[in-house]
Chain A
């Protein structure tokens, strides 16, 4: 059997069975469920306020002319003759609250409202119902019903983006996808890299410290070992993300239409998904190779973590520059972060989401990723076996360069 495959299998199973992996995998769906549950609980509490008693609202018409209560929806409006009478009805619980249309309402718009509840603010549904009731009575008969309906809801926006030539741009979708897609991508990207790559450093560190490395290196080549680890752990990271997506769509199905609606409007172009996956895999491979190099060189896990910080920082950079990248597609800084391999995946995703990256730049950024992965892997495996069996002290830069030349 192919030894690389054996290493892949071993690393994959070891990662997937580990406590940390299981916890992080379950954490996100559970968190989403908790948020969703909380949201629905709050909503239910909100609707409990307007249960039977709340559905009945009393009013006194001191201005005159407000007597059509037919279009108030689920809330019934009951007309009373005087304030005193309505107060008694409120105390008796016949109505949950009442309002008075003051005599000078037409000129001032003043409505006196009375309630037994202590509240922060009037509930939205009541406000809406009263508003519609007033509009109805004010305008009925004076304009046709269609215009009345429009007056109640005057605008529904449909936005279309045009490109420089005035044609309808192929990239539609609002500002939400411009920022949300790169952010979701970056979040998933970093979580996958942090779980997989740190496991890589940790694993190499453990094998060095426990000296299993000696047995491993006497059984498989350094290349097989590193490749097996990268693929095995990468597959574990990918499985985690697939699990999140599956559970996310499941949870979205559970969610009420209001939340679902928000994501429903978020249309992610297929192109973005395909390039997203490509950048994700290339980006992961680049970081994994870099982290494997760190893992091979440092004597223990802690030092590896410190060193890896210097790689993660430039990787996150594009996210901090997101506004700059969106607004200055031709700036030299934009080009630098697009083609510098470590920052390429996220920078390219941001620019792809906005649609301001020309195809040749996509091709070049991918090429720079592929070349640096191949180059680093080639150089890396040359020095791996020297440093994998070196314990104690971290070699200096000069020592690494010398061993590269000798390899």
Chain B
């Protein structure tokens, strides 16, 4: 038997789902490991939410298999998952504490444990004084944080966050990122579903990009970025640009230029040439395309 630590948090293989006659999720497969933030990315309507609902056993896939922590989906695996839905809301008339305790108890922990966990978490985000307020008395951002706590209060091994930063102010966004990274470092598996590529680049270890229900990109973020490297460097310097070997094109920007080079040339060779010419360099950066660019590139290829 495999040890629990070795098992993937989520293993999705070949799932399909269609509503009426539209194929919403078309034969996708991926794994999510423990201790990583996994980006499930794609534009609106790509099939992200449907995929998430299938992982949570809310919708059954038409075909394919999903396992959570090595087990087939069941009512028990639901307890191992924490979920922050994209559309936000809680019982408006219930207090913060009652909401947390009720929803946590539905995840299989006792109300005593839920209560002390709630105190702990509220303290962590400096919201302990609000614990007896009704949800409707909270600000939007606070309510959103309470929902985030609902997703993690039962100490789940898998946390699914659907657009968690939407609508948060910069301070709360930073706090949420901090807590999310803490959870990852504790060995939790986190699925971050979003269409904002900058959040993905900042937080995710690996990504799965879905477009029109299909897999378009899957793997380590760093590896993907180097795979889609477009053979160029970004340069800011003083004086005249001398002639350089292997350069095939140049693009001017406000405070820097982008130099494209051929396949035989490496960024290191260009830097060497610049050093030899004693040019004063303020910035030298190997250009990696943003996920946004990669995504647009992939989608336009079709």
Contact = CB atoms under 8 A, between A and B. Distances in A.
B85 A211 contact: yes
Contacts of B58: 214, 217-218, 385, 389
Nearest to A219: B106
B88 A216 contact: no
B92 interface: yes
Contacts of B147: 215
Contacts of A219: 78-79, 103, 106-107
Given A215-B85, A218-B56, A389-B53, A3 B106 contact: yes
B87 A214 contact: yes
A183 B296 CA distance: 71
B166 to A, nearest CB: 13
Q: Which of B20, B79, B105 has the most CB of A within 10 A?
A: B105
A215 B150 contact: yes
B284 to A, nearest CB: 48
A399 to B, nearest CB: 8
B90 interface: yes
A240 B59 CA distance: 38
Chain B interface main SS type? loop
B14 interface: no
Contacts of A210: 89-92
A1 B110 contact: yes
B105 A221 contact: no
Nearest to A407: B60
Contact of A211 (B53, B56, B88): B88
A212 interface: yes
A10 B102 contact: yes
Interface string A1-26: 10100110010000000000000000
A212 B90 contact: yes
B75 interface: yes
Contact of B105 (A6, A209, A402): A6
B38 to A, nearest CB: 18
A332 B192 CA distance: 63
B83 interface: yes
Contacts of A220: 75, 78, 106
A8 to B, nearest CB: 12
Given A1-B110, A385-B58, A389-B53, A214 B83 contact: yes
A218 B103 CA distance: 10
B212 to A, nearest CB: 21
A215 B75 contact: no
A215 B110 contact: no
B81 interface: yes
Of residues A218, A385, A402, which shows the largest number of chain B Cβ atoms within 10 Å of its Cβ? Answer: A218
Nearest to B81: A218
Contacts of A211: 85, 87-89
A247 to B, nearest CB: 28
Contacts of B107: 219
A7 B103 CA distance: 10
A39 B52 CA distance: 66
Would you list the 3 A-B pairs with minimal beta carbon distance, nearest first? A210-B89, A214-B85, A219-B106
29 contacts: A1-B108, A6-B102, A6-B105, A6-B106, A10-B102, A206-B92, A209-B89, A210-B90, A210-B91, A210-B92, A211-B85, A211-B88, A212-B89, A214-B58, A214-B85, A214-B87, A216-B103, A216-B106, A218-B58, A218-B78, A218-B81, A218-B83, A219-B103, A220-B75, A221-B75, A385-B58, A385-B59, A389-B58, A402-B20
Given A209-B89, A214-B58, A219-B106, 15 more contacts: A1-B105, A206-B91, A210-B89, A210-B91, A211-B85, A211-B88, A212-B91, A215-B103, A215-B147, A215-B150, A216-B103, A217-B58, A218-B58, A385-B58, A386-B59
